[in-house]
Amino acid sequence: MNFSFNELSSHCIKSAQDLDAFYKQIRTYVNLTKRENLPSIIFNDTFASENYNGIGTIYNILKDSSLDEEEKNYLKGLIQNSPFSLAILDDNISIKFNGEIAKGFQYSAIHGLRSISIPSDKWGDYTYSIEQEKIDPVTGDIISKEIEIEHLGNLNNYAGKWLEAFIPLVTYSNANEFLERIPQNYPYVVLSEHAKTALIGFNTGKLKSLERSMKIFNTFCQKHWRGSVFRKHLITELGVTIKGESEQTMDKYGHQRNFKNEHGKKEIIPLHFNISDDHRGNIKPIEGKKIYIAYLGMHLSTVKYK
């Protein structure tokens, strides 16, 4: 899941502690949702160069941060990674929040991204109503309407908010109970007999990670799978990284990915996702816009991992 930065919250940057809080908010979000990686955040192209409240640019302020070098470098990398230009936003659409031009919210509206802010009491909600004005291409009239932008709010108060759907819930006491509830909870995910047997041996940590992945698979199949093409990058954007194997790995170890498919016949299935550092699952799309988990178990051999 990616976010667009709400530049209106930049007024809240008054010391290095505010940037530290921003990083900790991102880290807490990752921990809550059991994501594999830190998210990408899209900033505008003036964010890095602006002077905030007279204390300097972001880079100046980070010098006084209590974050370690790796954490600081992550923030710097975010800011430098493909910022959007304020000049190329659609001139036919104007987005305002409480009467103030809101370019970050505009980017969210155009690209379907959620928004994120520097943490503060003002920016603790999970949705914000914004005013959209658009020029009718035929009549030239200005059409106004109110739209909602989903926003990463106070992480101590996510109950009933959009974020709750991305947080794994433990509604079972053991692997057998988890397995029994899969057809009801995740009807778009189908497990092979091998996968069912394998997950019985999973500890709670691995079950939580698997549950999170299955929840995202189910959401993708139900709401985001359009047409006949299986777009694995959309699952990655929802929070589970789906990868294939390199040609070198398949040449040398492809036989390890020869699993029974949904029809009980052997098939090479290289697409996979991580469950833990040493466990993976292998998947394929199947008829009915469902995802079939063919394998759950130890990390299989690759040219880099043996």
Report pLDDT digits (tens) over 71-90. 888 888 888 776 666 555 55
CB 97 within 8 A of CB 109: no
- Find the angle CA(19)-CA(21)-CA(26) to the nearest 5 degrees: 100
Q: What are phi and psi of 183, to 5 degrees?
A: -60, -35
Tokens 């309407």 belong to residue: 145
Distance CA 258, CA 269 (A): 6
Helix (H) or strand (E) holding 272: strand 272-274
State the CB neighbour count (10 A cutoff) for residue 281.
25
Q: What does pLDDT average to over the chain?
A: 89
Q: Which of 177, 176, 164 is nearest to 215 (CA)?
A: 164
In whole angstroms, what is the distance from residue 122 CA to residue 12 CA? 9
CATH 3.30.2310.20 fits domain 168-298? yes
Tell me how far the alpha carbon of residue 34 is from its chain's centroid: 10
Distance of CA 152 to the CA centre of its chain: 12
pLDDT band at 44 (very low <50, low <70, confident <90, very high): confident
Q: What is the pTM of this model?
A: 0.58
Q: How many residues appear in the chain?
A: 306
φ, ψ for residue 39, nearest 5 deg: -75, 165
Confidence at 45, pLDDT banded by 50, 70, 90: confident
Q: Are the C-beta atoms of residues 66 and 16 closer than 8 Å to each other?
A: yes
Q: Residue 100: phi, psi to the nearest 5? A: -105, 135
Residue of 115, 111, 105 lying closest to 29 (CA atoms): 115
* DSSP 3-state of 85: coil
For residue 143, name the pLDDT band (cuts at 50, 70, 90): confident
Confidence of residue 254 (pLDDT cuts 50, 70, 90): very high
The confidence score (pLDDT) of residue 239 equals 87
Least confident of 35-44, 147-156, 202-211: 35-44
Contact 12, 118 (CB under 8 A): yes
Residue in 226, 3, 223, 235 with CA at minimum distance from that of residue 112: 3
In the predicted model, is pLDDT for residue 298 greater than 70? yes
Can you give the pLDDT at residue 184? 84
